[in-house]
Amino acid sequence: MRRRPEVMRVLTGHFFRRFFDNDTIQVEGDTLTTVVRALAAVAAPGLLVAFFLQNQYPQRSRWGAMEDQYFFVLFSFAVMGAVTIFEWETLFPDRIDFLVLSPLPLRPSQMLAAKAAALSGFTALFLVGANLLSGLMYVAIAKGAFFRQLLAHSCAVVLAGTFAALILLALQGGLRCLVDTPRFRVVSPVLQMGSVAVLGLLMLLYAQTGDRMELLLGGSSQMARWIPPLWFLALYDRLLYGSAAPAFVRELAGYAVVGTATAGLLVLVTYPLAWTRMRRMALEEGAHRRREPSRMVSRPVHWWVQRPAERAVFYFIGQTLRRNSRYQVFLAMYCGTGLALAAACAIEVPSGLLRPELTNRGLHAVLPLLLFWVIAGLRNGFALPLNLAARWVFRLSGGDQGECAAAAARWTFVGSFAVLGCVLGVLAFAGWTMRPLVVQAVFGVCLCVLLTDGFFFGRSIPFTCPRLPGKKNFPLMLTLYVGVLPPFLFGVVWLEMRLEQRLLGLVLLGGATAAVHVAQRLLKQGPMEVEEQMEGYEGEFQLLNLG
């Protein structure tokens, strides 16, 4: 009788640590440090906003206060959605968990209960971390009925974050119940990317329309019905003002309660079913035969990548990204963020109106923005220390480190070229004429070349870079994404619109791009020193630690 609580405690602790045993965010299993850093990252934005709002009260109008309340509700919603997506693969036990734990004297119900307890604790930890300090600070500076507003604030932000986590969990559970593992691996990154894009777009639209809450909610609430964070804002005001709340509150507050209850019910139904199906598939699934690439793929690759060693690394990159779900989650979050920024640039909400409109200048920004985020995401993805145990394979490729690094650049160029084709297809569908499409195509090819050369100027081998704790250059990253990206974007859009009037400038642009590319290749032809990340691995692939 005493053994069962101890088993549950050990199992729950194991599953809880698995949420943080992730090489993308930590080094050498330092779980406590990872937890503290993650909680600090989600708590800081709300605290900063609450701090800067302290001079707005108590003279803040009701609609202005509602705008502030909506930020905290939306922030809780977005944070919990992003955390759930980031931990997408650990929401359910993986195949190794089932294979290792199933032979032990454990009942399946014990494993399910322990995983549910760990998942509940993980969700509660981030809900409290993201909202506790900022909520207390905001309620204090609002100078209203402290305990009444604290109750309203707590209920709204907790239910908003819970709804975001539950709806994504139910979505994954339903997907696992309906499709097999190969199809799930295809659909899952698309679903993750779309979810991140929606969350990012909600935050960006708040920056555009946050000061128009009265226009959005004061009249007809037809649009508000389709924006879940507004449901919880209505619940906030329902609890805060009672019968004196605006007219829209009663209907939308009901959506908040019903929506959260429905999401919870869906999780209760889909999670055990998906668990049972995954457990059976993990125990019955055999080794899959690796299929050879089709001729439609192999022939273009053989033409594009001439050297055999470089071609081997090229295939290895594709197979690694396909089989390792951590890389897929990371790239999906990068691409989803780029999609959200591109949509926010292309869509403008005129002042005094709530009808979104496509803008010509914003559509010109979509291509350079997406190419930047895709290439930057692949470059950072190759630097994640998720596949260090297999890095000895680069010694067997038969080529030098320069060829291994060049394969990563070629793979990135192919990926960015695919993005270029998708964007051109969307612009053609949107009704663009041939002249601006030609400009976009030439600009896209030039940007693919220049951005790939810029991000892959150093000859770093993919999947071989161990993370150095405390050595991440945050100021450099902040400068790149905040200081370099906006001027780059404005300059490219301005140049695109100018060259649409003078197509002859495209020849000059192509010549300048070719010259920069040739100069970059000449600079990289010098002798290459042994990379730090490969030191100490000479000969390891021969012994495999068996000698």
HEC per residue, 146-215 = HHHHHHHHHHHHHHHHHHHHHHHHHHHHHHHHHCCHHHHHHHHHHHHHHHHHHHHHHHHHHHHHHHHHHH
Domain tally, the chain: 2
Q: What is the pLDDT of residue 430?
A: 82
Q: What is the pLDDT of residue 40?
A: 83
CA 454, chain centre distance (Å): 23
Where does residue 350 rank: exposed (0-12), middle (13-18), buried (19+ CB within 10 A)?
exposed
- Cα–Cα distances in Å, from 159 out to 42, 229, 490, 534? 17, 10, 39, 48
Helix (H, G, I), strand (E, B) or coil at 400: coil
Helix (H, G, I), strand (E, B) or coil at 423: helix
- Asked if the structure places residue 19 within a domain, the reply is no
Claim to verify: residue 252 and residue 350 sit in the same structural domain: no
User: Is the CB of residue 166 less than 8 Å from the CB of residue 266?
Assistant: yes
The rounded distance, in Å, linking the Cα atoms of 341 and 344 is 5
User: Is the CB of residue 393 less than 8 Å from the CB of residue 316?
Assistant: yes
- Asked if the structure places residue 241 within a domain, the reply is yes
- Asked if the structure places residue 23 within a domain, the reply is no
- Asked if the structure places residue 350 within a domain, the reply is yes
Residue span of the structural domain in which 493 resides: 302-527
Claim to verify: residue 359 and residue 496 sit in the same structural domain: yes
Q: What is the pLDDT of residue 309?
A: 79
Q: 531 pairs with which residues across the strands?
A: none
- Cα–Cα distances in Å, from 107 out to 102, 110, 214, 275? 8, 5, 55, 13
Q: 348 pairs with which residues across the strands?
A: 357
- Asked if the structure places residue 355 within a domain, the reply is yes
Claim to verify: residue 233 and residue 307 sit in the same structural domain: no
- Asked if the structure places residue 538 within a domain, the reply is no
Q: What is the pLDDT of residue 397?
A: 62
The residue ranges of DSSP E strands in 4-104, in sequence order, are none
Claim to verify: residue 319 and residue 353 sit in the same structural domain: yes
Residues 6+ apart with CB under 8 A from 73: 156, 157, 160, 229, 232, 233, 236
Q: What is the pLDDT of residue 541?
A: 42
Q: List the one residue out of 384, 378, 406 whose CA is nearest residue 394.
A: 406
Q: What is the pLDDT of residue 358?
A: 78
Claim to verify: residue 275 and residue 307 sit in the same structural domain: no
Which single residue is written with the structure tokens 């770093």?
Answer: 460
Which single residue is written with the structure tokens 């679903």?
Answer: 191
Q: List the one residue out of 10, 19, 266 whose CA is nearest residue 119.
A: 19
Claim to verify: residue 356 and residue 267 sit in the same structural domain: no
Q: What is the pLDDT of residue 24?
A: 55
- Asked if the structure places residue 503 within a domain, the reply is yes
User: Is the CB of residue 84 less than 8 Å from the CB of residue 91?
Assistant: yes
Q: What is the pLDDT of residue 99?
A: 78
Which single residue is written with the structure tokens 């101890």?
Answer: 6
Claim to verify: residue 278 and residue 314 sit in the same structural domain: no
**Segments of the chain scoring below 70 in pLDDT:** 1-4, 22-34, 210, 218-221, 282-297, 350-355, 387-393, 395-399, 459, 466-475, 525-547
Q: What is the pLDDT of residue 169?
A: 93
The rounded distance, in Å, linking the Cα atoms of 280 and 275 is 9
- Asked if the structure places residue 259 within a domain, the reply is yes
Claim to verify: residue 276 and residue 310 sit in the same structural domain: no
Residues 6+ apart with CB under 8 A from 191: 171, 172, 175
Claim to verify: residue 338 and residue 271 sit in the same structural domain: no
Claim to verify: residue 101 and residue 185 sit in the same structural domain: yes
Picking from 284, 311, 342, the residue at the C-terminal end of a domain is 284
Q: What is the pLDDT of residue 454?
A: 87
Q: List the one residue out of 318, 458, 451 whose CA is nearest residue 375.
A: 451
Claim to verify: residue 99 and residue 153 sit in the same structural domain: yes
Claim to verify: residue 270 and residue 373 sit in the same structural domain: no
